[in-house]
Chains A and B, each alone.
Chain A
Amino acid sequence: MIEKPLAAIVSAGLSKFGKLDGLSAREIFTYAAKEAFDKCPNLDPRKDVKGLYLGHMTESAEHQGHTGPLVADWIGLNPMPAVRFENACASSGVALRCGIQAIKSGFVDVIMVGGVEKLTHLATSDATEYLALSADNFFEQWHGFTFPGLFALIARAHMHEYDTTGEQLATIAVKNHHNGSLNPKAQMQKEITIEQAMTSRVVASPLKLFDCSLISDGASCVILTKPELAKRFSDTPIYIQGSGQASDTIGLYERDDLTSLNAVTLAARDAYEMSGMKPKDIDVAEVHDCFTIAELIICEDVGFCKKGDGGKLVQSGDTAIDGNIPINTSGGLKSKGHPVGATGVAQAYEIFLQLTGQAGARQVNDAEIGLTLNLGGHGSTAVAHVYSNTI
């Protein structure tokens, strides 16, 4: 039995997401770190923070590897140990889980966990090619499979099995763009209509342009500490109550069920079990909408609705900010943006804002329990965390 809470988040930072011309990954991360440090005056970064776990996927983008110590130095943490995590789009979700383990093991009292990605300077074809590295190169990319294409295969199977419609997928895009319009750090702060989404160009049928998340630059971070030290740094910390991670095949074709993401089911199950929470206890959730179909399937697989009812769930309005289970209040990857290495901890940042009442125009009333679900690739990695604002 693991004693809870697992860890506390005492501060968090997020750079602006979007096309950040003239800024490199290390510089973008500095903006996220600066926000976290500035919001936590009781923390002395050089003295208190004993390391950095950094999610970062595409070293090819800037021809820059070894980004752990690089970024740590740039934010003033040299000579603390620093490690880069690469689990595709789940890189910083995994870094967060490992940060919790570092705290829990007693190795460190305070650690920074975050992620960064710099992609928008690349030609779109290069960026998408780098992102596709998270699938099975020898049996997928080699045959012309793209990342939208892989999620399109999942979407087609879900539509075939459960009569899910393109309009239901478009409803997810419309909702997330609305939420993003309320988030000053979002890449696209712009509402869209169902018609716009439905008539946008086909990328990989049945998925259209507005079913796809964005190519983004951005960085995110949180300061993790032991629960018993939390109040030393913040009057309003949040607590991590459960953590789950699971893997699945690197090739989509090897899976018996194409309409479900087994790693999501398992990661969520473990995070719920550890936290003692159930899907109905969650007040607000950030889930990995790299494509609209991903949000729909994750809602089913983490238990927000019955299998196959994901389309109906979004159409009911229940996943809107004022609904029963608000999903992706930040705008999600769809509208806030998807700097892949930063995405997992950016989800934790939004939950930190929501559970501490700092989410402004997109604040969910009385949000006390939150969930994040970060996906790597087409579900070869999934990481789930459950958070609360009381111990």
Chain B
Amino acid sequence: MEEITLNRDKKGEILPTIQNFYRFCGHGRLMALKCIECEKLIIPPRIICPKCSSSRFKWIQLSGKAKLRTFSFIHIAPKQFSSQAPYIIGIVKLEEGLSLSGRIIVDKDVKLEIGMDLIVEFEDTVSVGWPQWPRYYFRLAKVIEQ
């Protein structure tokens, strides 16, 4: 973790901020907060625990395994994504029970279905400043050819 530039408080604790979440992503880590008081897992990070209002957290690395909760093929895309359309967006349930939104990547022509297994991957591009952060996305874990 030493090589990652992270925002820290005076005591050296990693601040529970969105920028730090994405800086971890830039180094291939999908990270969540764990509340030290009530043990709730939190993603994206926030400074007050939504369950017990504590502000004492530790960062934990997630497995990156997920299941697809819902998805859509975007045919009409915003300008900056129009060259990629159609592309897939989705909401996934992470193995640890948390939900997250993100792009869904499939390599082959497969019929995408709710409940399919996914694995997190990360964009190679380097962050170019607030809030142009490196993206995570989810790839179909295993394509079974039929």
Binding site for B on A (CB under 8 A): 125, 128-129, 132, 136-146, 148-149, 152-154, 156-157, 160, 201-207, 251-256, 258
Contact = CB atoms under 8 A, between A and B. Distances in A.
B74 A253 contact: no
Contacts of A160: 70, 114
B74 A146 contact: yes
A141 B78 CA distance: 9
Contacts of B99: 253-256
Given A139-B100, A160-B114, A144 B72 contact: no
Interface stretch (B27-35, B57-65, B87-95): B87-95
A258 to B, nearest CB: 6
A153 B131 CA distance: 25
Contacts of B77: 144, 146
A156 B100 contact: no
Interface residues of B, number: 30
B144 to A, nearest CB: 21
B101 interface: yes
7 contacts: A125-B79, A138-B133, A144-B77, A144-B84, A203-B76, A253-B91, A253-B99
Nearest to B84: A144
Contact of A145 (B44, B73, B89, B114): B89
Contacts of A138: 18, 44, 131, 133
Contact of B137 (A143, A207, A252): A143
A143 B70 CA distance: 15
B133 A157 contact: no
A137 B71 CA distance: 18
B69 A157 contact: yes
A206 B84 CA distance: 19
B114 A144 contact: no
Given A132-B78, A203-B76, A252-B101, A137 B91 contact: no
B100 A144 contact: no
B39 to A, nearest CB: 18
B114 A142 contact: no
B3 to A, nearest CB: 24
Contacts of A128: 76, 78
A129 B79 contact: yes
Given A132-B78, A144-B84, A153 B72 contact: yes
Contacts of A255: 99
B103 A144 contact: yes
Interface centre among A132, A152, A206 (most CB of B within 10 A): A152
Contact of B133 (A142, A153, A207): A142
B56 interface: no
Given A143-B135, A144-B78, A205-B72, A253 B89 contact: no
